[in-house]
Structure 1
Amino acid sequence: MSVRPFRMSAASFDALARGGGGADGMRVLVAARRSRTLLFIRSILAARPALQPDFDLLSEVQRKAPQAVSAVLDHPAVGVWAAQTAVALVHGEPAAPERLGEVAIAAVERASHGPGFPLPPPLGRNVVTELDVGDGVTFQLDPWQGGGLPDGLRISRDADPGLWREWITLGWHLLAQAHPGVATEFAEAVSVITPLRSSPAGFSSATLADAFGCVFMSLTRDPEVIGLAFAHELQHTKLAGLMDLFPLLRPGRHGTFYAPWRPEPRPLVGLLHGTYAHLGVAGFWRRQRVQDGGPHADVEFSHWRAAGLLGCRTLLASGGLTAVGERFVLGMQDVLLDWAAEPVPASAIATAEERMREHRDLWLASVHSGSS
């Protein structure tokens, strides 16, 4: 099982910077993450040579059914296990390298049943439900019992598959009809949806850098909120994959910065992720304006295009971007500047500006109270 270098054209990089990337761009990111996972597995094998038979089994399946191995290596739980285990072994910390055997067995099972068979859940024999949302697109509803997740994630172990199928399908249809480019990218990049319990604040969603291809989310009976969450979390997924390939930030400490979507100061990497995600949010509401033409979409578009521009300007002034990172942020900024010139009702702009002021005032009050 070899690891090959990856190249991305300047055009593909710039398309990602502008918030897109298309199906081909997503395939590059998925393949690059697969290579990263395999590199971690080789590191695990180097630290635990007794696992060679498990690796040999995986290699044998690779020769006979490479798509089966790719599907297993692409599973977010395998990515989390491989990354965390390799790092733990380097630092002499507790780890479970023997789970390589589970990865190999999952590949054998996948190869035995063919590509149409649901992916066996590696690293935890949890019950996985296939969510068929139509048009040949399926996601796994996976309660994730493989471990390796932050304590703060409120995983739901008793999600109702029928209810999830109903509302995820409705959200997907909204995305596919009104945001086809986002839907195409999401279907290529994301394979797993892990249910969360509702938070005290209501709906929540998240991604984790190591769990590439998984969106964690609670359930809502609002297709627009589901579609928006998909658009938002897709951006985080894309940026996590892109940062595997390119050093966008200079090494070292950069301090913390104001982010017009969070109550607390953010490190530079968090600001970068948030800005890219809210580029996707602004684009979602820009397209939604065409669908409903209502004041809500106008306000949301006005708000998030302005917030995204502020994020870009803060990043560019930070001194923490590499040359390629600056190119990436300038690509975001170019799109947002174009959108800022699009006409929006004055009342929507005024409401959005008031929301921005209120957020900044609350943030400043919080920072001052914390430092007193």
Structure 2
Amino acid sequence: MKFIPVIGDPFHLSSQNRFLSRFKGNKNKILGERSRLVFSTGIYTSRSPVKPPGYENEDSYCVDKNHICIADGVGGWITQGISSAMYSRELVRNVDDNLKLIKNSKRKMDKEEFIELVNNSYEKTKSSRLIGSSTLSIVLMDSLNKLHVFNLGDSKCLIYRMSERRVIYESDIQQHDFNIPYQLGTGSFDKPKDGQYCIFDNVKVGDTVILATDGLWDNLTIEQIIGIFEHNLGLDPQIIAEKLGQRALRSSLNLSYVSPYSVYVNEFLSDKSSSFNSFRGNDDSNSINTCFVGIDGNSSVNCDKNELNIKRLGSNSNSNSLFNNRNHIINSHNHGNYCYSNYFGGKPDDITITIGIINKDINDIHK
């Protein structure tokens, strides 16, 4: 479960007409026609299997031959009786609408204009007065065959060059703190301009975009993902998306699996315990404790009778477990003034995976 941010100031609404006017004029920037590149797409999405009945999949997505968008609704809102599913759907719907409006524009788009498009979509979502927040990730293949990549939060975009069998791009994960991703929505200080943006003008036929929520990246390593992809080269992208999703889902439920998420948790606990013990002072005692991390939100690691609380500090989200509503065993060791913990298992979560393989548009009259 992701956590909601501290309440911030509201943003001002921007003008839809002002946004659209950026792509109607200035014909001096219109470039010549060329063979257009598009996506062949595949999609996998699943609701977390450990969610109680009635809880929705809070991931949302849209796919088109020219763009892909995913949004991961922040689950921490459920403690306020609010599902972020509606918010993430509305955000994706508005992004999809705006991208379709500029679909055939031959005007060269730069970073400023792309961020304005995202901001316009966000402001339109705000005007709906829905409560919630969400991460947001977008890839766009424009009419000039420039690939735009935008990511805000802990979803990720990976671009794999099939012809060279290598990853040519991997976006960064953006978090304020443990399990607190950058997010757009109610109470968040984050804005579209805070997202990571890249543009590529050298993409090739066969290059593959994997755009997915953290349900994939927390449960499979990059090496595992590429291995599955390479093992299924030549198959329909829908089949590849399903194979990735099914593997991630199985891994998320494996309590003994050393997942990317478990590695991250152990690093977090190690950092926190080191800081705690430095503050506590030197202790020559040696002890080994077994700690139970429960679903009641009182997640803690007991190191030599001193409790290290690993709940989000400063959160007003009441009792939330950082371990996504599932029990885990942590073996906690204290040697001198250093406490470390071994957390095992995948991370049950909503999972959404989109695959976009770049091809020539068969309907392009200029091919």
Superposition TM-score tier, normalisation by shorter sequence = under 0.3
Structure with a larger share of its residues in strand:
2
TM-score normalised to structure 1 length:
0.25
Between Structure 1 and Structure 2, which shows a larger proportion of helix residues? 1
RCO higher in structure (CA 8 A, sep ≥6): 2
